[in-house]
Amino acid sequence: MGLGSNPAHPVPLGFVFRSRATKDEKVTVADKAQVTDSKQPRDPQAPKGRPTPKRSEAQSQRRSVANTQMTRKEAAKRQREERRAALERQRQALAGGDERYLPARDKGPVRRFARDFVDSRFNIAEFFLPMAVVILVLSMVRVPALQNIALLLWLVVIVLIVLDSFVTGFRLKKRLAERFPDDNKRGAVAYALMRSLQMRRLRLPKPQVKRGERP
C-alpha cells in the first residue's frame, strides 16, 4: 500500500463532527436549564438555597409562631405567679422570722441581733405616736394652760427620745463590736433606731424575744 493510497476503511468526517456537536448541544441545554432555574421567582419568606415552602408548610410555620406567642404569655403569667408566691413567703417570713425569705435589709446575724437588742428593752421612742396624739389633742383645746402643757410635753418627749436613742445606739454599737468583730456592721445601728420608733406590736419582722430577755 502506498503512502498516497486511501485507507481500507475510511472514518466518516460527519460522525466526528456530529459527536462534537452533540456534546456541545448537551452543554448548552444544561446551561440554559441552570439559567432558567436561577430566573425563577423565589418566595421572599423561603430561605436562600431552599425551595419555596408549600401552603401546608407555611400554615404550620404560622401555627408554630402563634404557639410561641402563647408560650410567652404563659411564661409571663408564670412569672407573675412566682412573684406573688415570693411576696407571700416574704410576708410569712416577716411574721415568723424565717431568715430564708426575709428582705435583704433584714437578713443576716447582725441585723437579727440588732432587732433582738431593741425588742428586749423598753424604748421611749416606741411611745412616740401615742404621746404625739395626746399632745395634738391638748394643743387643739382652746385653753391657754393646756396648750402650754402640750408644748412642754412635746419638748420633754423630743429630749427623752433623743437621749434614749443615743444610749441605745452607743450600747448596741459596743455589743455588735464584741459579738461580730469581723462582720459588716454598717447601717445596723440606724436600722435598730428606726425599729425602736415603731410600736412593738407593729414591728416587722415580728419580735422573737421578750422584754428583759438578753439577746
**Of the listed ranges 10-19, 44-53, 173-182, the one predicted with least confidence:** 10-19
Taking the model in full, what pTM does it have? 0.61
Q: Write the single-letter amino acid at 177.
A: A
Among 176, 198, 87, residue whose Cα is nearest residue 206: 198
- Check residue 57 and give its pLDDT: 65
For residues 138 and 153, the answer to whether their CB atoms sit within 8 Å is yes
| Distance, CA of 32 to CA of 37 (rounded, Å) | 8
CA 111 to chain centre: 24
Query: Phi/psi at 134 (nearest 5 deg)?
Result: -65, -45
- The amino acid at residue 200 is R
Q: How far apart are CA 80 and CA 86, in angstroms?
A: 10
- Cα(181)–Cα(169) distance, integer angstroms: 17
- Over residues 127-170, the pLDDT tens digits come to 999 999 999 998 898 899 988 999 999 999 999 999 999 999 99
Burial bucket for residue 204 (CB in 10 Å: 0-12, 13-18, 19+): middle
- Residues 68-115 have pLDDT tens digits of 556 888 888 888 888 888 788 777 767 777 778 788 899 999 999 999
